[in-house]
Amino acid sequence: MDKLKFAIPKGSLEKATAEFFSKSGFKIGGTERTYRPSINDPQIEMKVLRPQEIPVFVSEGLQDLGITGEDWVKENRADVEILQNLEYGKIKLVIAVPKSCENMTMGEFMESIWCQGKNFRISTEYLNIASEYLKNTPQYKKRFGDAEPILVTPWWRKGDNPRAKIFLSFGATEAKPPEDSDAIMDVTETGTTIEANNLKIIDTVMKSAAILIANKKALEDPEKREKIYDIVALLKGVVDGSKRIHIFVNVKKENLQKLLTELPALKNPTIAPLADDTWVSVNTVIEKDCLIELLPKIRKIAQGLVVYEPRQVLALDEIAKRVEKPCKSKAK
């Protein structure tokens, strides 16, 4: 098998991706010096790219695997297989307008501008998502039907509705209103930067996080598919490990069945005898959020509770089923 080409993101997701990989068992080195970092797996060839580009390169087969934001997969309309939500780098894609504007929906805000005889302007990095969003507002549909908003970039413009213009932003998007745009569509984690620039959020377009994507043709190659799902197992293990805890508890045999009915185990728990044959040790993995609720129940019938936070929980049986299941959609 040729080396598996794996693109990881530069920029805002870079540090979190490195930390995530370190928990998975992969060791990536040299990212601060090169765009071709090393990894402790001879079957993988890593490359660092911008998350905006990764969906396109994976879709085109230039990369077999990639980590990017769900927002960029949607923006690029990339024909890729989403293998795993990695649940870090969480952001919201929002619409924001000047604080001076009255409280109203996005559609109402646009209508107020059109009623003044003005063209509506929005700045964003997300041209396709913004266009789709505007076209789906009732006020836009009523006025313009299926007309396409005009997309404006330094190199080209397209669309047929000059009353709604979407300007490509290269950053500092929050600085654009009110002189250069009426609204922005931008990503935020807390909304602090938007607030500091005298803007307010009036709608959330989508929520996004880092995801693992694959080229569909690569998944049709038996050898690559096996390797890809080995990687999925390790990365999914980090996601699952962050949500679960491993507990060890000693209990009298007479209370064992009562304890087992209280433990929402992933699978049947491991039960081992102790030196005192009237006692057994029980260990299992449970959802982290369950511990507070379970603790009073466990305390009454057991002793010696030990809690560990696992780095990974590998659902090998689930991964095996995904490897055996043929890819639903064919690559174009």
Q: How far apart are CA 175 and CA 189, in angstroms?
A: 18
HSE-up of residue 1 (Cα within 13 Å, Cβ side): 17
- The domain locations on the chain are 4-88+209-241, 92-208, 244-308
Cβ atoms 7, 57 nearer than 8 A = yes
Q: Which fold has domain 92-208?
A: D-Maltodextrin-Binding Protein; domain 2 (3.40.190)
Strands 270-273 and 279-287, how do they pair? Answer: antiparallel
Residue type for 109, please? F
The answer to whether domain 4-88+209-241 and domain 92-208 are alike in fold is: yes
CA dist 302 → 124, 250, 281, 282, 296 (Å): 57, 6, 10, 10, 10
pLDDT in tens, the chain (332 residues): 789 999 999 988 999 999 999 999 999 987 778 899 999 999 999 999 999 999 999 999 999 999 999 999 999 999 999 999 999 999 999 999 999 998 999 999 999 999 999 999 999 999 999 999 999 999 999 999 999 999 999 999 999 999 999 999 999 999 999 999 999 999 998 889 999 999 999 999 999 999 999 999 999 999 999 999 999 999 999 999 898 888 899 999 999 988 888 776 656 789 999 999 999 999 988 888 888 888 888 888 888 888 888 877 877 777 777 887 755 544 33
User: Which of 323, 137, 157, 325 lies closest to 226, judged by CA?
Assistant: 323
Superfamily (CATH H level) for 4-88+209-241: Periplasmic binding protein-like II (3.40.190.10)
The crossing angle, in degrees rounded to 10, of helices 14-24 and 222-241 is: 100
Residues 279-292, buried b or exposed e (16+ Cβ, 10 A)? bbbbebbbeeeeee
Query: What global pTM score does this model have?
Result: 0.87
Q: Which fold has domain 244-308?
A: Alpha-Beta Plaits (3.30.70)
Q: How far apart are CA 165 and CA 163, in angstroms?
A: 7
**In the chain, beta strands by DSSP E:** 4-9, 28-29, 38-39, 44-49, 65-69, 81-85, 91-98, 120-124, 149-152, 157-158, 161-168, 183-188, 199-208, 210-214, 244-252, 270-273, 279-287, 302-308
